[in-house]
Structure 1
Amino acid sequence: MKQQANLIRAGQVIEHNGRRWTVLKQQIITPGKGGAFIQVEMRDLKSGNKTNERWRTADTVERLMTEQKDYTYSYTDGDNLVLMDPESFEQVMLPTELLGDLLPFLQDNMAVEVDLVDGDPVAVHIPPQVTLEIVEADPVVKGQTASSSYKPAKLSNGVKVMVPPFIEAGERVVVRTEDASYVERAKD
């Protein structure tokens, strides 16, 4: 399906130069002189190579339609994720690079959504927020104002996050998976 370049969004799959690409980031740039253009960072689905491409906003690109299917994460086997279809209980193996930076947030029995193009997996989506335990937290520095002071902490999955000063090691917190940012204390 043809669409204007300025409608490209992260997560879409497009066909360009005879190859299939998944869009990682997009940014519309309006220079002081001349027409606006869109800068797109994308990854080749076959080779995994990343590239940047620029289009004028009026250009058209070929967008591939994706089908979404729900799976449950079972375990990681080397460089592959083993997912189970919750309806048929069939297991599917997908490369871990489909998750990219979100891999540390994957948890046992987590519901994930897989985007398929013509039956081929092109992307894996996990929930936007996860609950994890703080394993290390720096002590509070006296004299800092509570309004804007955050301290570094380490989550049980090894990811570092900035948390408010009242959060201590051993507490469970909700973290946004997109940018590893603190949301709130867990309510469980």
Structure 2
Amino acid sequence: MKIDGNAVRPGNVIEHKGGLWRAVKIQHTQPGKGGAYLQVELKNLKDGTKMNERFRSSEKVERVRLEQKDYQYLFADGGMFTFMDTATYEQILISEDDIGDDAVFLQDGMDVVIEFHEETPLGISLPEKVTLTVTGTEPVVKGQTAASSYKPALLDNGLRIMVPPFVNQGDKVIVATAEREYTGRAD
């Protein structure tokens, strides 16, 4: 579907220069001389490279619609991740390269959304928050009572995050997957 160059929004996927790109950030710019344009930061869905592009309102851009399906993560084997379609029970394999850094959050039985373009999986969308266990943390330094004092912690998936001083080894914490930050303690 063709759209005007100034109608691109963050999250839109467009076909540009022979590849599929997701708009990450946009900025409307109106220079003193010449016409206004939209400065767009694009991320390639295949290899993760980024580029900045300018689109004027007179330009047409091909917006791509992605199909989203619900899948359940089953297991990993040799850099390949197996997912099962929750409606048809069919299984697909996605490489670690296609999933990227989000692979660290995958847990057995986790429900994810996989985006497809013409039957080719492009990537996964994780739940907003996941529960992980703290496997190691440093003791609190006495006298460090600033309102926002945090300490480093190692989680059971290998991720390092900053946690409040009251979180100890063995505690379960809730982590926001997009920001990779501590959001609370799990019950």
TM-score by length of 1: 0.87
> What does residue 55 of structure 1 align with?
54
> What does residue 67 of structure 1 align with?
67
Displacement, 1:25? 2.3
Cα deviation digits, residues 66-94 of structure 1 (max 9, x gap): 11111111111223211111232211111
Match of 2:167, as an amino acid? I
State the distance in 2 between where 1:180 and 1:71 align: 22
> What does residue 77 of structure 1 align with?
77
Match of 1:25, as an amino acid? V
Question: 1:22 aligned to 2:21?
Answer: yes
Unaligned 5+ residue runs, structure 2?
Answer: none
State the distance in 1 between where 2:89 and 2:181 align: 34
Displacement, 1:31? 7.5
Give the fraction of aligned pairs with identical amino acids, expressed as a percent: 36
Cα deviation digits, residues 118-153 of structure 1 (max 9, x gap): 211122111010000001111111112252111111
Question: 1:186 aligned to 2:167?
Answer: no
Cα deviation digits, residues 103-125 of structure 1 (max 9, x gap): 10111111110111221112211
TM-score by length of 2: 0.87
SS in 1 for 2:70: strand
State the distance in 1 between where 2:32 and 2:141 align: 49
> What does residue 43 of structure 2 align with?
42
State the distance in 1 between where 2:52 and 2:169 align: 44
Give me the CA root mean square deviation: 2.1
> What does residue 112 of structure 1 align with?
112
Return closer, same or farther for 1:79/1:8 CA change in 2, 3 Å cut-off: farther
> What does residue 101 of structure 1 align with?
101
1:40·1:52 contact (CA, 8 Å) conserved in 2? yes
Unaligned 5+ residue runs, structure 1?
Answer: none
SS in 1 for 2:149: coil
State the distance in 2 between where 1:137 and 1:5 align: 49
SS in 1 for 2:183: strand
